[in-house]
């Protein structure tokens, strides 16, 4: 049993002890470093692997074609948009993801970003720590949070967890989710709205949708123009949901009053050139919303267990097979 763990150079030295605790002692675990320049070498390393464990390295058709023995690609995340899962299905390779492991952490992180922006934390921090000032209204125009409307795009586990927390501050909850009937959304404590309704009515808009072809770049200049209340925008889901060039324009022209971003369009962004860096009304965290010692353990344990179940032929016992291979 040969298992390849795919990593970028930045994480190539990470500890593999959690994965090793899951697999049999005679299993061969090897870490393969991926860069665009060394893609062919990466493919060659993976050629005789029975399974590939992947964090955020993209698994393209070219790579899949090189996986001559692979039975399963197991993603160390809840999202799998960077793996060509349909092509893997054609090749008979199961693609697994994690059903749930970090709902609490991501919901907490979302509320943290919201509060920091609504309460002007960066301004006050700069005023006190850098400017050595003691000015209570250094950030003028702050709104009372109670009574504000939060619009949640994607009302799944995380969306509902965010709503629960926001309600404790007295916020009203609007929810857009085309996959959940309106009466079910109401039963879950939110008012169902169309996407346009969410854009027009919300003081805070937070994205918790899985990234699909339909919502790629959904938050763009067209949608920003519909945000009548100049809301803050939070994105702790997938960076591809936001057109960053259009967001910069929206921030510069007051269509959006602030942004809290845990994800960007790239998983390896250049912080020296990113136009969203250095703005007092933008908070960026490095895709860390999921992180705690608990989730770090589950992040590596569950995908390894998914590999083991699939290689044993027990696909239905895997945590989540997202492309249907082995479930018939």
Catalytic residues: 238, 267, 287
Q: 161 vs 141, 165, 221, 241, 310, CA distance in Å?
A: 29, 7, 28, 20, 31
Q: What's the token pair of residue 113?
A: 């970003």
**Rounded to 5°, angle at Cα 2 from 313 and 78:** 65
Q: What's the token pair of residue 206?
A: 């937070």
Residue 174 has phi, psi (to 5 degrees) of -110, 140
d(CA 99, CA 88): 19
Residue 214 has phi, psi (to 5 degrees) of -75, -35
Q: 65 vs 4, 7, 46, 315, CA distance in Å?
A: 16, 19, 11, 22
Q: What's the token pair of residue 277?
A: 């860096």
What number of other Cβ atoms are within 10 A of residue 310's Cβ?
26
**CA end-to-end distance (rounded Å), the chain:** 24
For 302, counting Cβ atoms within 10 Å of its Cβ (0-12 exposed, 13-18 middle, 19+ buried), the class is buried
Q: Are 239 and 263 in contact (CB under 8 A)?
A: yes
Q: What's the token pair of residue 37?
A: 């320049």
| b/e code 26-60 from CB counts within 10 Å (16+ = b) | ebebebbbbeeeeeeebbebbeebbbbbbbbbebe
What number of other Cβ atoms are within 10 A of residue 206's Cβ?
28
H/E element, 33 = strand 28-33
d(CA 241, CA 134): 39
């Amino acid at each position: 049993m040969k298992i390849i763990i795919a990593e970028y150079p930045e994480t190539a030295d990470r500890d593999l002890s959690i994965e090793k605790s899951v697999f049999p002692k005679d299993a061969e675990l090897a870490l393969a470093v991926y860069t665009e320049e060394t893609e062919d070498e990466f493919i060659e390393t993976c050629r005789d692997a029975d399974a590939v464990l992947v964090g955020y390295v993209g698994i393209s058709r070219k790579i899949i074609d090189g996986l001559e023995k692979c039975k399963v690609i197991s993603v160390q995340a809840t999202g799998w948009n960077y793996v060509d899962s349909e092509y893997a299905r054609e090749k008979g390779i199961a693609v697994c993801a994690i059903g749930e492991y970090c709902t609490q952490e991501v919901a907490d992180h979302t509320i943290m970003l919201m509060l920091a922006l609504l309460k002007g934390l960066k301004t006050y921090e700069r005023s006190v720590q850098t400017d050595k000032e003691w000015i209570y209204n250094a950030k003028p125009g702050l709104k009372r949070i109670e009574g504000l409307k939060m619009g949640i795009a994607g009302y799944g586990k995380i969306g509902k967890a965010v709503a629960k927390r926001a309600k404790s501050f007295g916020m009203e909850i609007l929810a857009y989710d085309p996959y959940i009937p309106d009466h079910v959304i109401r039963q879950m404590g939110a008012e169902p709205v169309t996407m346009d309704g969410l854009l027009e009515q919300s003081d805070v808009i937070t994205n918790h949708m899985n990234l699909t072809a339909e919502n790629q770049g959904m938050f763009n200049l067209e949608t920003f123009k519909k945000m009548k209340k100049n809301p803050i925008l939070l994105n702790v889901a997938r960076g591809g949901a936001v057109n960053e060039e259009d967001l910069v324009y929206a921030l510069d022209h007051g269509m959006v009053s602030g942004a809290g971003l845990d994800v960007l369009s790239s998983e390896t962004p250049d912080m020296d050139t990113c136009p969203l860096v250095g703005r007092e009304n933008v908070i960026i965290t490095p895709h860390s919303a999921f992180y705690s010692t608990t989730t770090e353990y589950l992040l590596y344990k569950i995908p390894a267990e998914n590999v083991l179940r699939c290689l044993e032929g027990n696909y239905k016992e895997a945590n989540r097979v997202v492309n249907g291979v082995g479930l018939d």
